[in-house]
């Protein structure tokens, strides 16, 4: 996420533009707002989402994978010994 921040970092100014920094998402985000932490100064900022996240759907049950077909075992020929 690239958001504005007041911290100084010449490298990110060249890459993302003056005053714009890389932010990592945090677990504090809600369905209406997104919270991120600046990778330079560690400040947390929140931004209102343009569209709220849809309601979470219940987890889908995974079907068991079909078992591979078993090949019949080959019987070894018995050699008669005298």
- Kindly state whether residue 52 falls inside one of the protein's structural domains: no
- Kindly state whether residue 49 falls inside one of the protein's structural domains: no
Judging by beta carbons within 10 Å of its beta carbon (0-12, 13-18, 19+), is residue 57 exposed, middle or buried? exposed
Give the tens place of pLDDT for each residue, 26-53. 998 888 888 999 999 999 988 887 766 5
- Kindly state whether residue 55 falls inside one of the protein's structural domains: no
DSSP string of 26-43, one letter each residue: -TT--SSEEEEEETTT--
69 falls in which pLDDT band (50, 70, 90)? Answer: confident
- Kindly state whether residue 64 falls inside one of the protein's structural domains: no
Check residues 34 and 62 and name the one with the higher pLDDT: 34
Residue 55 predicted with pLDDT over 80 = no
Its domain, for residue 3, covers 1-34
- Kindly state whether residue 43 falls inside one of the protein's structural domains: no
Task: Please tell me the predicted confidence (pLDDT) of residue 80.
Answer: 73
- Kindly state whether residue 69 falls inside one of the protein's structural domains: no
Count of domains observed in the chain: 1
Chain center to CA of 69: 35
Residue with token string 């931004």: 47
- Kindly state whether residue 74 falls inside one of the protein's structural domains: no
């Amino acid at each position: 996420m690239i958001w504005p921040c007041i911290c100084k970092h010449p490298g990110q100014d060249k890459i993302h533009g003056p005053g714009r920094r890389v932010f990592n998402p945090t677990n504090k985000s809600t369905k209406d707002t997104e919270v991120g932490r600046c990778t330079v100064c560690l400040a947390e900022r929140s931004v209102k989402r343009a569209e709220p996240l849809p309601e979470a759907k219940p987890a889908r049950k995974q079907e068991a994978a079909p078992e591979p077909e078993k090949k019949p075992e080959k019987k070894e020929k018995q050699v008669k010994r005298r």
